[in-house]
């Protein structure tokens, strides 16, 4: 569980630092490291998906407070995204290639449901271009981050015999 907490904290703070360094108008480098951390930490919950969803809710609440100044919006979005990741893990095993695929799908899912939520509350007007731009601008940096973090956590897991789902 310590590895899970470390991955979440590092991802959360790294997202904060990187988002301060990279322009919001960047076409390829929008960090969503907290969503990536949900992909990385899932195997460490040993099929205890309720605890995983609770962890995602807490992470979403912190995300709301620190990054968006809203309450419960990202809490629910993170829980839905975590549920989606949980379902993907039934279909895909954990290896470098599948972690990259799951990261892309999780980011796409998160972007779509957050876009829908922002439209429903009247914050955005519907635009397919804006949705596609939001998705594509998030993929490159986050897939690279996912592969790096997966390599590190996999190495630590093997070295210290930390049990995870494969």
Work out the pLDDT band at 27, boundaries 50, 70, 90.
Answer: low
Q: Average pLDDT for residues 76-97, to the nearest whole number? A: 95
Q: What is the CATH number of domain 2-159?
A: 1.10.1760
Mean pLDDT computed over every residue of the chain: 91
Q: Quick check: 67 pLDDT over 70?
A: yes
Domain definitions of the chain by residue range: 2-159
Structure tokens at 79: 């829980």
The pLDDT score that the predictor gives to residue 71 is: 82
The pLDDT score that the predictor gives to residue 101 is: 98
Q: Measured between alpha carbons, how far is 130 from 51 in angstroms, rounded to an integer?
A: 34
DSSP string of 81-146? HHHHHHHHHHH---SHHHHHHHHHHHHHHHHHHHHHHHHHTTSS---HHHHHHHHHHHHHHHHHHH
The pLDDT score that the predictor gives to residue 128 is: 86
This prediction has a pTM of 0.93
């Amino acid at each position: 569980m310590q590895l899970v907490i470390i991955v979440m904290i590092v991802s959360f703070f790294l997202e904060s630092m990187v988002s301060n360094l990279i322009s919001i108008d960047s076409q390829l480098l929008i960090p969503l490291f907290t969503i990536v951390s949900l992909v990385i930490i899932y195997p460490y919950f040993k099929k205890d998906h309720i605890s995983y969803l609770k962890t995602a809710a807490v992470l979403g609440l912190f995300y709301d407070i620190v990054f968006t100044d809203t309450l419960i919006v990202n809490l629910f979005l993170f829980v839905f995204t975590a549920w989606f990741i949980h379902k993907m893990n039934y279909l895909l095993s954990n290896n470098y290639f599948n972690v990259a695929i799951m990261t892309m799908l999780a980011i796409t899912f998160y972007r779509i449901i957050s876009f829908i939520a922002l439209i429903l509350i009247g914050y955005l007007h519907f635009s397919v271009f804006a949705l596609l731009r939001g998705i594509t601008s998030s993929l490159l940096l986050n897939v690279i981050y996912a592969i790096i973090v997966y390599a590190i956590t996999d190495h630590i897991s093997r070295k210290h015999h930390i049990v995870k789902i494969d």
